[in-house]
Amino acid sequence: MDRRTVLRAGAMSAGMLVAGALPAGAQSSGTPLRRDRPVLTHGVQTGDVTTDGALVWTRADRPSRMLVEVSHDPSFRYARRLRGPVLTPDTDGTGKLRVRGVLPGCETYYRVRAEDLDGRTVSEPLTGSFRDTHRVPRPVRVQHARPERP
């Protein structure tokens, strides 16, 4: 076996391990798709995480309203329900909602749906989580590795 084959196999193995270890930004509930309800076409994302919350973003395939549930419990037993913006062709079907009032240092779970404008059908829920930025600075460790040259 030559060096190139070994490196390629190692890179593929590492890629599969990393992909399996990454947290799911959006996980499907496994509900079967129906053509008469909205679809969140690009999953859900979070960004601009601060000590007080984060921005949740999604995109739907048709005009609909963004609905977000937020909880500190992954079962969503005590979830807060937030009505987000209407997703329209003017916004390219995208919408974002600032989630505020999270507990410092705790994991915050969110579940996003899109509701048809008539209020009769709702998309499959997509879930994710984020942790706020801490008020107390914590050390950061950076590691660098490079391959040895023969």
59-95 residue pLDDT tens:
999 999 999 999 999 999 999 999 999 999 999 999 9
Q: Tell me whether residue 144 is in a domain.
A: no
Q: Tell me whether residue 140 is in a domain.
A: no
Q: Tell me whether residue 47 is in a domain.
A: yes
31-63 residue pLDDT tens:
555 678 999 999 999 998 888 889 999 999 999
**Per-residue pLDDT at 139:** 75
Q: Tell me whether residue 7 is in a domain.
A: no
81-137 residue pLDDT tens:
999 999 999 999 999 999 998 888 789 999 999 999 999 999 999 999 998 776 666
Q: Tell me whether residue 19 is in a domain.
A: no
Task: Say if residues 43 and 126 touch (Cβ distance below 8 Å).
Answer: yes
Q: What is the CATH number of the domain that holds 80?
A: 2.60.40.380
Task: Determine the distance from the C-alpha atom of residue 93 to the mean position of all C-alpha atoms in its chain, rounded to a whole number.
Answer: 17
Structural domain boundaries enclosing 110: 28-131
Q: Is the pLDDT of residue 26 over 50?
A: no
Q: What is the DSSP letter of 90?
A: G
**Domain count across the chain:** 1
